[in-house]
Amino acid sequence: MNKMTVKDIDLKDKKVLMRADFNVPLDENCNITDDLRIVSALPTIKYCLEQGAARIILMSHLGRPKGQVVAKMSLKPVAARLEKLLGMPVKMLDDCVGEAVKNALAQATEKVVLLENLRFYAQETKNESVFAGQLAELGQVFVNDAFGTAHRAHASTEGVTHYLPAVAGFLLEKEMAYLGKVVENPERPLVTILGGAKVSDKIKMIENMMDKVDCFLIGGGMAYTFLKAQGKEIGDSKLEADRIDLAKTILKKAKENNVAFILPIDHKVADRFDAQAAVQYVGEEIPKGWMGLDIGPKTIELFKQKLQTAKTIVWNGPVGVFEMAAFSKGTEALAEYIATLPATSIIGGGDTASAVRQFKVVDKMSHVSTGGGASLELLEGLELPGIVALKDRT
């Protein structure tokens, strides 16, 4: 985790090639609906400018065009928003490699330039060395500030580091500091809230964190596989039948390690997966014909009780279908409660980050990760290629 950052190198008069994560959500008219990832890149961009960099050449992907040019996945809306946020011109190019890009850069007067979507080329995700070399030719130093793609060995994250001095930006440094501490030396008691649809998505994280966590609070769709493993009736709730034995093993291991593993004790259930479905509250057992879509009020209070004395809280995955108002109460209640606590609160990106923004408590959290998959892999104990490739601080 001890990597060099932009503060460790001379940026004056340098062309800085910077990998950002501008993979922002767009509506049907290609308007940005959440600019958190653009805002998160601003400190590094501004620092490079303040240090006298000759130019900042920004690169990113957006969506999954799979090596094809897809007009609705162009980064043009990002350039417009970035220009507004920076308060200075941003030059948007039509491509990311090739002679036309080199010529456009040579003629440009703008200090900040944004290349077109990297994933319009299949070579990007294949980490093709020639493509990485073409990107590297555009800069003199490389700054990676895209934590959201740090778990992928792509041309723009790992490949370019073979050609240029490579350091971390401030966002990547912050992600490493918060998540790295949780993995290596968390302040305890450490309470981890896990939600989302599948047990299989969180297995490796649970196993890696078992000797660090004091208490797991389990909600969302994944809770029902654990409840089934305990012999509880779960009705028509989400179930990974092939993971029941694994769930039993985890429950046994938690007991052996003296780690509290708390499952919902009541549920808000629906007769179908629909915002307009008939709903009711039930206890631990869910009747046939009903499915659990949120934790109930008793579970909310139980979870709050377990969170109250925590020094560190890690939350990865909502505890209900928070996108539907009828099943958002559990996630909303926990978000609002955590916002009042003095603990270090780390939100693990993805849907959980969307939830704390939706419930307007994002500013009350210690750290909201910009990378769902990357944060999960880091908590699983995996090395992230985009971080490993950066220069070590000696």
Q: Catalytic residue numbers?
A: 37, 198, 350, 373
Query: How many Cβ atoms from other residues are within 10 Å of residue 255's Cβ?
Result: 11
Alpha carbons 10 and 341: distance in angstroms, whole number: 40
Q: Do 246 and 199 form a contact (C-beta atoms < 8 A)? A: yes
Q: Dump strand ranges (E) for 42-86.
A: 55-59
Handedness of CA 352, 354, 355, 356 (dihedral sign): positive
DSSP class of residue 163 equals: T
Q: Which of 127, 85, 111, 36 has its CA nearest to residue 367?
A: 36
Overall residue count recorded for the chain in this entry: 394
Give phi and psi for 307, each to the nearest 5.
-80, -25
64: Cβ contacts below 8 Å, ≥ 6 apart:
119
Question: Where do we find the tokens 């896990």?
Answer: 194
Burial class (CB in 10 A: 0-12, 13-18, 19+), 258: exposed
Give phi and psi for 372, each to the nearest 5.
-65, -55
Full DSSP string of 251-285: HHHHHHTT-EEE--SSEEEESSSSTT--EEEE-SS
Question: What residues form DSSP beta bridges with 166?
Answer: 142
**Segment holding 301, helix H or strand E:** helix 297-307
313: Cβ contacts below 8 Å, ≥ 6 apart:
190, 191, 192, 193, 307, 338, 341, 343, 344, 345, 346
Question: Where do we find the tokens 């041309």?
Answer: 155
- At 298, which amino acid appears? K
CA-to-CA dists, residue 363 to 121, 326, 389, angstroms: 36, 25, 31
